Amino acid sequence: MAVKKEATGDKFKLPEIKLMTTTIPIRGMTPLITNKIPDWLADDMEAKAAGSQPEQRHRTPQDQFEEAIYRNANGEPCVPASAIKKALVEAGGRFTDMKMTELRGIINIRADLLPILGPPPTLRRDYGRNRQGMIVVLYRPCWEEWALEVPIAYNASCMKLPQVVMLFQLAGFGCGIGCWRPDNNGTFGTFTTDLKGK
Protein backbone atom coordinates (compact mmCIF):
# COMPACT_ATOMS: atom_id res chain seq x y z
CA MET A 1 0.00 0.00 0.00
CA ALA A 2 1.66 3.20 -1.13
CA VAL A 3 1.85 6.29 1.06
CA LYS A 4 -0.30 9.05 -0.46
CA LYS A 5 0.83 12.65 -0.25
CA GLU A 6 -1.72 15.38 -0.64
CA ALA A 7 -0.48 18.78 -1.73
CA THR A 8 -1.88 21.72 0.26
CA GLY A 9 -0.27 24.89 -1.05
CA ASP A 10 3.47 24.56 -0.60
CA LYS A 11 3.11 21.81 2.04
CA PHE A 12 2.32 18.12 2.00
CA LYS A 13 -0.17 16.42 4.22
CA LEU A 14 1.42 13.16 5.30
CA PRO A 15 -0.27 10.30 7.14
CA GLU A 16 0.58 9.75 10.78
CA ILE A 17 3.24 7.13 11.47
CA LYS A 18 1.78 4.34 13.56
CA LEU A 19 4.69 2.17 14.58
CA MET A 20 3.89 -1.34 15.73
CA THR A 21 6.33 -3.99 16.94
CA THR A 22 6.05 -7.75 16.97
CA THR A 23 8.17 -10.87 16.57
CA ILE A 24 7.69 -13.11 13.55
CA PRO A 25 8.80 -16.72 14.16
CA ILE A 26 10.02 -18.43 11.00
CA ARG A 27 11.16 -22.01 10.41
CA GLY A 28 13.19 -23.42 7.58
CA MET A 29 11.50 -25.40 4.85
CA THR A 30 14.80 -26.36 3.20
CA PRO A 31 18.37 -26.47 4.63
CA LEU A 32 20.23 -23.22 5.28
CA ILE A 33 23.80 -22.64 4.09
CA THR A 34 25.69 -19.58 5.32
CA ASN A 35 28.88 -18.16 3.81
CA LYS A 36 30.26 -15.30 5.89
CA ILE A 37 33.16 -13.44 4.31
CA PRO A 38 36.19 -14.25 6.51
CA ASP A 39 37.59 -11.41 8.58
CA TRP A 40 41.12 -11.93 7.28
CA LEU A 41 39.99 -11.05 3.74
CA ALA A 42 39.84 -7.36 4.71
CA ASP A 43 43.45 -7.58 5.93
CA ASP A 44 44.49 -9.10 2.59
CA MET A 45 42.70 -6.35 0.65
CA GLU A 46 44.40 -3.66 2.75
CA ALA A 47 47.78 -5.33 2.24
CA LYS A 48 47.31 -5.40 -1.54
CA ALA A 49 46.19 -1.75 -1.54
CA ALA A 50 49.38 -0.86 0.34
CA GLY A 51 51.51 -2.80 -2.14
CA SER A 52 52.31 -5.62 0.27
CA GLN A 53 51.90 -9.35 -0.19
CA PRO A 54 49.00 -10.90 1.74
CA GLU A 55 49.88 -13.40 4.42
CA GLN A 56 50.01 -17.01 3.22
CA ARG A 57 47.33 -19.09 4.95
CA HIS A 58 46.69 -22.80 5.09
CA ARG A 59 42.97 -23.24 5.71
CA THR A 60 41.65 -26.67 6.55
CA PRO A 61 38.06 -27.70 5.75
CA GLN A 62 37.22 -27.15 9.42
CA ASP A 63 38.72 -23.63 9.25
CA GLN A 64 36.56 -22.77 6.25
CA PHE A 65 33.52 -24.25 7.96
CA GLU A 66 34.02 -22.11 11.08
CA GLU A 67 34.83 -18.95 9.11
CA ALA A 68 31.54 -19.19 7.18
CA ILE A 69 29.44 -18.97 10.36
CA TYR A 70 28.11 -15.59 11.50
CA ARG A 71 28.37 -15.27 15.28
CA ASN A 72 27.10 -12.68 17.76
CA ALA A 73 28.92 -11.42 20.85
CA ASN A 74 27.84 -14.55 22.73
CA GLY A 75 29.31 -16.81 20.07
CA GLU A 76 25.92 -18.05 18.88
CA PRO A 77 25.55 -18.96 15.17
CA CYS A 78 23.42 -16.29 13.48
CA VAL A 79 21.87 -15.00 10.29
CA PRO A 80 22.35 -11.32 9.35
CA ALA A 81 19.09 -9.43 9.78
CA SER A 82 19.86 -7.68 6.49
CA ALA A 83 19.30 -11.00 4.67
CA ILE A 84 15.72 -11.16 5.95
CA LYS A 85 15.12 -7.48 5.13
CA LYS A 86 16.43 -8.00 1.60
CA ALA A 87 14.12 -10.99 1.08
CA LEU A 88 11.10 -9.01 2.33
CA VAL A 89 11.84 -6.04 0.07
CA GLU A 90 12.49 -8.28 -2.96
CA ALA A 91 9.27 -10.21 -2.37
CA GLY A 92 7.22 -7.04 -1.96
CA GLY A 93 8.54 -5.57 -5.19
CA ARG A 94 8.24 -8.80 -7.15
CA PHE A 95 4.94 -10.26 -6.01
CA THR A 96 2.87 -7.24 -4.95
CA ASP A 97 2.18 -3.75 -6.28
CA MET A 98 4.41 -2.19 -3.62
CA LYS A 99 7.55 -0.32 -4.58
CA MET A 100 10.75 -1.62 -3.03
CA THR A 101 11.88 1.92 -2.22
CA GLU A 102 8.70 2.45 -0.18
CA LEU A 103 8.83 -0.94 1.50
CA ARG A 104 12.34 -0.27 2.83
CA GLY A 105 10.86 2.53 4.93
CA ILE A 106 7.74 0.65 6.06
CA ILE A 107 9.26 -2.37 7.78
CA ASN A 108 12.50 -2.69 9.72
CA ILE A 109 14.15 -5.48 11.69
CA ARG A 110 15.15 -4.51 15.22
CA ALA A 111 18.41 -6.48 15.31
CA ASP A 112 21.71 -6.92 13.53
CA LEU A 113 22.23 -10.66 13.90
CA LEU A 114 19.49 -13.24 14.53
CA PRO A 115 20.49 -16.41 16.45
CA ILE A 116 19.78 -19.65 14.60
CA LEU A 117 17.56 -21.98 16.61
CA GLY A 118 18.07 -25.67 15.98
CA PRO A 119 20.64 -28.49 16.01
CA PRO A 120 24.29 -27.64 15.22
CA PRO A 121 25.24 -27.39 11.53
CA THR A 122 27.02 -30.07 9.58
CA LEU A 123 30.00 -29.52 7.30
CA ARG A 124 28.88 -29.43 3.68
CA ARG A 125 31.24 -29.89 0.70
CA ASP A 126 30.33 -28.21 -2.58
CA TYR A 127 32.08 -26.99 -5.70
CA GLY A 128 32.29 -23.42 -6.88
CA ARG A 129 34.57 -21.01 -8.70
CA ASN A 130 37.02 -18.51 -7.28
CA ARG A 131 37.61 -15.00 -8.60
CA GLN A 132 40.02 -16.39 -11.20
CA GLY A 133 37.31 -18.71 -12.53
CA MET A 134 38.99 -21.87 -11.24
CA ILE A 135 36.87 -24.66 -9.74
CA VAL A 136 37.41 -24.93 -5.98
CA VAL A 137 36.02 -27.04 -3.17
CA LEU A 138 33.86 -25.12 -0.70
CA TYR A 139 33.37 -26.20 2.91
CA ARG A 140 30.43 -24.47 4.56
CA PRO A 141 27.99 -24.96 7.45
CA CYS A 142 24.55 -26.36 6.67
CA TRP A 143 21.59 -26.38 9.05
CA GLU A 144 19.15 -29.15 8.11
CA GLU A 145 16.65 -27.84 10.68
CA TRP A 146 16.57 -24.18 11.61
CA ALA A 147 14.35 -21.40 12.89
CA LEU A 148 14.60 -17.69 13.69
CA GLU A 149 12.74 -15.22 15.87
CA VAL A 150 12.56 -12.01 13.83
CA PRO A 151 11.76 -8.83 15.84
CA ILE A 152 10.28 -6.19 13.55
CA ALA A 153 8.85 -2.69 13.61
CA TYR A 154 6.41 -1.66 10.90
CA ASN A 155 4.30 1.35 9.98
CA ALA A 156 0.72 0.23 10.55
CA SER A 157 -0.54 3.23 8.58
CA CYS A 158 0.83 1.56 5.46
CA MET A 159 0.73 -2.15 6.25
CA LYS A 160 -1.35 -4.26 8.59
CA LEU A 161 -0.18 -7.36 10.45
CA PRO A 162 -1.85 -9.86 8.08
CA GLN A 163 0.01 -8.20 5.18
CA VAL A 164 3.29 -8.42 7.12
CA VAL A 165 2.71 -12.13 7.71
CA MET A 166 1.89 -12.67 4.03
CA LEU A 167 5.04 -10.76 3.04
CA PHE A 168 7.10 -13.16 5.16
CA GLN A 169 5.39 -16.10 3.46
CA LEU A 170 6.14 -14.70 0.00
CA ALA A 171 9.73 -13.90 0.93
CA GLY A 172 10.28 -17.34 2.42
CA PHE A 173 8.97 -19.23 -0.58
CA GLY A 174 10.10 -17.03 -3.47
CA CYS A 175 13.36 -15.48 -2.23
CA GLY A 176 14.85 -17.30 0.75
CA ILE A 177 18.13 -16.53 2.52
CA GLY A 178 21.69 -17.86 2.49
CA CYS A 179 23.53 -19.65 -0.31
CA TRP A 180 21.74 -21.30 -3.24
CA ARG A 181 18.40 -19.74 -2.31
CA PRO A 182 15.58 -19.34 -4.87
CA ASP A 183 16.81 -15.81 -5.57
CA ASN A 184 20.07 -17.39 -6.79
CA ASN A 185 18.51 -20.22 -8.80
CA GLY A 186 18.64 -22.62 -5.85
CA THR A 187 16.26 -24.34 -3.46
CA PHE A 188 17.99 -23.78 -0.12
CA GLY A 189 17.14 -21.29 2.63
CA THR A 190 13.38 -21.21 2.11
CA PHE A 191 11.18 -20.58 5.14
CA THR A 192 7.62 -20.11 6.36
CA THR A 193 5.81 -18.81 9.44
CA ASP A 194 2.95 -20.37 11.34
CA LEU A 195 1.91 -16.96 12.68
CA LYS A 196 -1.54 -15.83 11.63
CA GLY A 197 -2.33 -12.14 11.29
CA LYS A 198 -5.33 -10.84 13.21
In a domain, residue 66? The reply is yes
Cα separation, 93 vs 73, whole angstroms: 34
Name the domain count of the chain.
1
| pLDDT tens per residue across span 155-189 | 999 999 999 999 999 999 999 999 999 999 999 99
Give the domain range for residue 90. 27-33+57-190
In a domain, residue 20? The reply is no
| pLDDT tens per residue across span 43-95 | 666 656 666 766 666 789 999 999 999 999 999 999 999 999 999 999 999 98
In a domain, residue 40? The reply is no
Cα separation, 144 vs 178, whole angstroms: 13
Nearest to 154 by CA among 98, 75, 113: 98
What DSSP assignment string belongs to 82-151?
HHHHHHHHHHHHHHSS--HHHHTTTEEES-SEEEPBSSPPEEEEEEEE-TTS-EEEEEEEEESS-EEEEE
In a domain, residue 4? The reply is no
In a domain, residue 145? The reply is yes
Cα separation, 139 vs 169, whole angstroms: 30
In a domain, residue 120? The reply is yes
In a domain, residue 48? The reply is no
